[in-house]
Amino acid sequence: MNYVFDVDGTLTPSSKEIDKEFEEFFLDFTTNNNVTIVGGSTYDMIKEQLGESICNGVDSVFIHLLAFFPAVSQKTRLLLL
């Protein structure tokens, strides 16, 4: 099964580190499933929030362009994603 998760507000509170108990559960989940992480910040920030183990354990990490173009309108954002 394939799964896609957003970082802020889904796997972590916005701009915070992942809960340690949830981190253990999620690491186990990534070993049994195809997981992609989607974030709106830099890879380094995502790695800081989720930890190196999760970033290395998922199938891919997708950084969407809005992290680098915050002034894009909401309508355009939907098209980019």
Active site residue 8: yes
Q: How far apart are the first and last CA of the chain?
A: 22
Catalytic residue among 8, 19, 28, 44: 8
Active site residue 28: no
User: Mind telling me the catalytic residues?
Assistant: 6, 8
